[in-house]
Amino acid sequence: DMLIQLGLAVPTGVELPSESWGFLPTPGKRMKNGMLEWLQGTPPSLSIGYSLQVNYLQLARAFSVIANGGKLIQPTFIRKIVKGDQVLLD
């Protein structure tokens, strides 16, 4: 599935506790209340961004997949950048 390949609705694995998974409706799967996740109106609503729940890191990672020619990269946080004895970012 293209949305899974973009890394949407899947934890990024960054160094943050309790990262939310998000939500991506699956055809044929039922929610806890018994209703189907994927209904007749799901494809059109997905095309404009509805019916999909992602966190900001998942969204940034999806854009990075497009920018990196289709390669899914594990994001990480950088605390400090040092070049020689000079601190570039702290």
pLDDT at 8: 84
- pLDDT tens sequence across 26-82: 889 998 999 999 888 888 988 888 888 888 888 899 999 999 999 988 888 888 899
Beta strands in the chain (DSSP E): 81-83, 86-89
The answer to whether 67 touches 73, Cβ cutoff 8 Å, is: no
pLDDT at res. 36:
92
DSSP3 helix / strand / coil % (the chain, rounded to 5)? 25, 10, 65
Give the 3-state secondary structure of residue 23: strand
- Residue type present at position 37: E
2-27 confidence digits (pLDDT tens):
777 888 888 888 888 888 888 888 88
